[in-house]
């Protein structure tokens, strides 16, 4: 599994005011995002979860380098 050098992209922490244009790619630890100004930002996976409305957790599965991420809704956790 390859990890990006954090020096290649700006590290941006969870900020509700930050608009994300696109998820470029992600692995089991971080997500690389395209911001409106064209810059790439790197967030820890936990920061991505905090940006998703109605989601408390992400289920992450890595198989042969492919990452599958499923949002687990809050109501599914509390049921």
Where exactly are the structural domains of the chain?
6-78
* Distances from the Cα of 36 to the Cα of 18, 24, 30, 73, angstroms: 9, 13, 19, 27
pLDDT band at 27 (very low <50, low <70, confident <90, very high): confident
More confident residue, 54 or 77: 54
The reported pLDDT for the residue numbered 49 is 67
pLDDT at 75: 67
Average pLDDT over residues 14-35: 75
d(CA 67, CA 61) in angstroms, rounded, equals 6
| For residues 68-73, average pLDDT | 74
Characterise 10 by phi-psi region: left (phi > 0), alpha (psi -120 to 50), beta (else): beta
Cβ atoms 69, 60 nearer than 8 A: yes
φ, ψ dihedrals at 30, nearest 5°? -145, 160
Q: Is the pLDDT of residue 32 over 70?
A: yes
């Amino acid at each position: 599994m390859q990890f990006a050098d954090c020096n290649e992209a700006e590290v941006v922490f969870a900020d509700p005011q930050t608009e994300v244009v696109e998820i470029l790619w992600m692995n089991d630890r971080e997500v690389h995002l395209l911001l409106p100004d064209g810059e790439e930002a790197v967030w820890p996976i936990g920061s991505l979860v905090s940006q998703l409305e109605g989601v408390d957790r992400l289920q992450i599965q890595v198989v042969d380098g492919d990452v599958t991420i499923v949002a687990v809704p809050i109501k599914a956790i509390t049921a």
